[in-house]
Amino acid sequence: MKFKVFSELSYEVFSPTTFIFNIQAAKSACQTIISELLIVTPAIKFEEFTLKNSGTRFVKMEVGKGVFFTLIYEAEVEVSYTVYDEKVLLQSIPIINLDHEVLPYISPSRHCESDKLLEFATKEFGYLPNEYAKAKAIKESIFNTVEYKTSVTNSSTSACDTLLDRVGVCKDFAHLGIALCRALDIPARYFTGYAYNLNPPDFHACFEAYIGGRWLFFDPTKLAVANGLVKIANGKDASEVAVASYFGDVNCTFMKIECQPITADFTPFNSENDRIEAISYE
């Protein structure tokens, strides 16, 4: 499946500021960048770097006071995904047998205080027969009880807040899903990306849960088509893979995000039926 993704971000800069962006499509075994382009207008020197551990791609730049600039990213990306059915989904891997690199995703993180939700998660979802049933019920419960609303939450909002306030945007939905999975000893991680047909258009955030040896994709907002995503990055939560971090006094004045399949034959995957099926972007 080929997608064309596009993002345009404009900033007004009131003090000398370091920017760190995380908006480029990830490179992985099942995601290939066919072509990509990063343009800063007016021209400002930027540097790309990748963290050794995660492979997350960042762009950093230093911008002076009084500058007004626009960053444009455009890419054609080939994405493949796998659909797993009950042969994988109903498997349970004991913690002792988990891949070691997966273990950190059981621990709590800044926005996913799973350690505070052990009782809650156990009482609400603990009775379910397997990890897939638990993760799916968590997704459904968040969809049914949290209202999607912009401008109410901020970058300090975390899962416990959302559980009480019952309102937020995709990142808040994802954080709550991750926290509840981890509270049940299911490894879970944050997923940011470009999403086809997302309305309102924006970067998207979802979560992945590690079930039967695979990182399976869950979108508790149900705003995206499960096979319509181009991954930017995974992380423990938004604190590791924020779209834009800045150290200075700035104002974001414009934002445009797009994601379109290039292939004519794109068929949206319907994850809302009763079949036991889930998508993995690995």
Residue with tokens 């995601």: 31
Q: Are 218 and 209 in contact (CB under 8 A)?
A: yes
Minimum separation from the CB atom of position 85 to a second copy (A): 28
Strands 68-79 and 82-85: unpaired
Examine residue 123 and tell whether it contacts a second copy (CB under 8 A): yes
Strands (E), 31-164: 31-41, 46-50, 57-63, 68-79, 82-85, 147-148
x/- map, 174-213, a second copy, by CB under 8 A: -----------x----------------------------
Choose one: 155-163, 169-177, 188-196, 226-234; the region binding a second copy (CB under 8 A): 155-163
Alpha-carbon distance 266 to 78, whole Å? Answer: 13
* Nearest to 26, CA basis, from 57, 64, 5: 57
* Nearest to 132, CA basis, from 273, 278, 272: 278
Of 239 and 260, CB closest to a second copy: 239
Of 147 and 272, CB closest to a second copy: 147
Minimum separation from the CB atom of position 50 to a second copy (A): 8
Select from 49, 68, 127, 254 the one that contacts a second copy (CB under 8 A).
Answer: 49
Examine residue 2 and tell whether it contacts a second copy (CB under 8 A): no
Examine residue 109 and tell whether it contacts a second copy (CB under 8 A): yes
Residue 199 tokens read as 């309305």
x/- map, 221-260, a second copy, by CB under 8 A: ------------------xx----x-x-------------
- Amino acid identity, position 270: N
Burial (Cβ within 10 Å: 0-12, 13-18, ≥19) of residue 76: middle
Choose one: 30-38, 103-111, 193-201, 207-215; the region binding a second copy (CB under 8 A): 103-111
- Total residues at interface with a second copy (CB under 8 A): 46
Examine residue 124 and tell whether it contacts a second copy (CB under 8 A): yes
Residues 6+ apart with CB under 8 A from 12: 68, 250, 251, 253
Residue 278, strand partner residues: 84
* Nearest to 139, CA basis, from 281, 242, 279: 279
Binding site for a second copy (CB under 8 A): 18, 20, 49-54, 58, 60-62, 94-96, 100-101, 103-104, 107-110, 113, 115-117, 119-120, 123-124, 145, 147, 155-156, 160, 163-167, 185, 239-240, 245, 247
